[in-house]
């Protein structure tokens, strides 16, 4: 049996913020986040950057002709460039604001730029992927670039990148990055390592966390001797005379066990320390990130493992590394809910259903199955639970394969033909859903 050996203390959920006020949402309702990646032949995709999308993951664009907070796209323009409308109940958050167009329609703006989708983009994200690959690579590279759409926006129209910002200027060496393990945008150091904020009782002289038990795992973020306060960043003086950065008066630390960008091993270790979370990325109720010994982490719903089924393809390297098993967003969109449709399959793999009022948000999308029902998808891929998991921490469905051989059965023949047409191999590979 595959099982994670966990204690309840390390089942982490989002929302742990260092500020007195709860962090703002990373994206409003109805807007998504998508990893823009370069597809490689026999290894997992290479991440390039992150983009926002509409509720269906389409590429978002801004126009050079628009003024900040004002759309100059006329009614004729809007037939090709569709203003991204604000759904009922959605509110501005972070870098996202709402503008009112001349026709009375409320439209989203990102960093004050009105955003649009393009009617010519047939497959969500094709244009953004093409633009990203063009910017970094060229056709003379020896390594083959997998084919993608050659559609590019006309002059004056630009693909929107998701670039989280710190509203006030940050000191050199401190940045803001999306962190899927922390489920939000966090402060990081120059190496991309997660920063934590101390919320204990500081002494009057500014000294914090001076005991050996504290300084061993928690490393102060040093401030240069000539550094001065910058916006919400200030200097905390320690008892030994050294200087340390603080954000909103909370001293900042690194956690010694965090070795790679995105690591958040300090979460839950000490209640006085919390990830320096600037914004909080959406997750459905009951969903948590569960750390696994030797497997990184997985997404769970009320303690039960979540899985994705992907069209089988040959890969070099392991599938259970910290950031594996990554797949191209468009392939998940292409599969949709068709990964599992037969009665036999659904007896084992049960779709993760959204509530009646659920909306796409962040990395989570509400998709429609062929039978008209709804299902959650994460990073483009439909999510399922496995009936073979009997206890919290089980992930018995991981690393399993479904091969489809026609053997005269029409349903199997149709599924096999569909998979071959899509990916050249008539098989589905099931894997725990990774953050």
Tens digit of pLDDT for each residue in 96-127?
999 999 888 999 999 999 999 999 999 999 99
Identify the pLDDT of residue 19: 44
Identify the pLDDT of residue 206: 45
The residue count for the chain: 435
> Is the pLDDT assigned to residue 264 strictly greater than 50?
yes
Q: What is the mean pLDDT of the chain?
A: 85
CA distances from 114 to 80, 92, 118, 156, 159 (A): 15, 13, 13, 14, 12
As a whole number of Å, the end-to-end CA separation of the chain is 23
The count of other CB atoms within 10 Å of the CB of residue 68 is: 11
Q: Please compute the mean of the pLDDT values over residues 379-384 and round it to a whole number.
A: 97
> Is the pLDDT assigned to residue 4 strictly greater than 70?
no
* The dihedral formed by the CA atoms of 178, 184, 186 and 192, expressed in degrees to the nearest 10: -30
> Is the pLDDT assigned to residue 420 strictly greater than 80?
no
> Is the pLDDT assigned to residue 394 strictly greater than 60?
yes
Sort strands 24-25 and 277-280 into parallel, antiparallel or unpaired: parallel
Going through 39-171 in order, the beta strands assigned E by DSSP cover 46-53, 61-63, 81-83, 96-100, 106-110, 113-114, 116-118, 157-159
- Model pTM score: 0.88
Identify the pLDDT of residue 205: 40
Q: How does pLDDT run across 187-241, given as a tens digit for each residue?
A: 999 999 999 999 875 554 445 555 555 667 889 999 998 889 998 999 988 877 8
Phi and psi at residue 250, in whole multiples of 5°? Answer: -110, 115
Nearest CA to 62 out of 125, 115, 117 is that of: 115
Give the Cα separation of 1 and 95 in Å (integer). Answer: 45
Q: Please compute the mean of the pLDDT values over residues 137-157 and round it to a whole number.
A: 69
Q: How does pLDDT run across 248-258, given as a tens digit for each residue?
A: 999 999 999 99
Identify the pLDDT of residue 405: 65
Tokens of 277: 């979370």
Give the Cα separation of 222 and 207 in Å (integer). Answer: 13
CA distances from 152 to 118, 128, 211 (A): 10, 8, 58
SS3 content of the chain, % helix, strand, coil (to 5): 10, 30, 55
Identify the pLDDT of residue 20: 41
> Is the pLDDT assigned to residue 424 strictly greater than 80?
no
Judged by DSSP in three states, 219 sits in strand
């Amino acid at each position: 049996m595959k099982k994670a050996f966990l204690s309840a203390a390390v089942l982490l959920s989002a929302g742990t913020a260092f500020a007195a006020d709860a962090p703002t949402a990373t994206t409003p309702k109805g807007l998504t986040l998508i990893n823009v990646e370069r597809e490689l032949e026999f290894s997992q995709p290479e991440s390039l950057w992150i983009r926002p999308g509409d509720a269906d993951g389409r590429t978002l664009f801004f126009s050079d002709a628009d003024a900040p907070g004002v759309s100059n796209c006329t009614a004729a323009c809007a037939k090709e460039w569709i203003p991204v409308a604000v759904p009922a109940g959605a509110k501005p958050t972070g870098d996202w604001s709402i503008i009112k167009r001349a026709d009375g329609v409320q439209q989203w703006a990102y960093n004050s730029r009105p955003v649009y989708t393009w009617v010519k983009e047939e497959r969500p994200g094709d244009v953004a992927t093409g633009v990203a690959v063009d910017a970094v690579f060229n056709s003379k590279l020896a390594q083959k670039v997998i084919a993608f759409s050659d559609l590019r926006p006309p002059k004056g129209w630009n693909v929107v990148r998701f670039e989280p910002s710190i509203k006030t200027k940050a000191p050199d060496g401190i940045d803001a990055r999306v962190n899927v393990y922390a489920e939000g945008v966090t402060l990081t150091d120059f190496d991309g390592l997660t920063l934590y904020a101390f919320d204990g009782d500081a002494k009057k002289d500014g000294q914090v966390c001076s005991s050996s038990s504290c300084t061993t795992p928690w490393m102060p973020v040093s401030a240069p001797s000539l550094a001065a306060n910058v916006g919400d960043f200030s200097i905390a003086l320690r008892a030994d005379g050294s200087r340390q950065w603080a954000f909103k008066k909370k001293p900042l630390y690194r956690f010694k066990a965090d070795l790679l960008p995105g690591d958040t091993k300090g979460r839950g270790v000490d209640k006085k320390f919390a990830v320096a979370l600037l914004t909080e990325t959406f997750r459905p109720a009951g969903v948590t990130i569960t750390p696994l010994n030797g497997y990184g982490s997985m997404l769970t719903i009320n303690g039960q493992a979540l899985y994705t089924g992907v069209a089988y393809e040959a890969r070099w390297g392991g599938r259970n590394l910290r950031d594996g098993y990554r797949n191209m967003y468009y392939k998940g969109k292409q599969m949709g809910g068709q990964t599992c449709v037969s009665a036999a399959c659904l007896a084992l793999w049960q779709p993760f259903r959204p509530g009646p009022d659920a909306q796409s948000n962040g990395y989570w999308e509400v998709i429609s199955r062929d039978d008209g029902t709804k299902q959650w998808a994460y990073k483009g891929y439909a999510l399922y639970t496995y009936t073979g998991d009997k206890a919290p921490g089980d992930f018995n469905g991981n690393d399993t394969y479904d091969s489809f051989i026609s053997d005269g059965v029409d349903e199997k023949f149709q599924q096999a033909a569909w998979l071959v047409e899509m990916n050249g191999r008539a098989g589905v590979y099931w894997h725990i859903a990774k953050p």
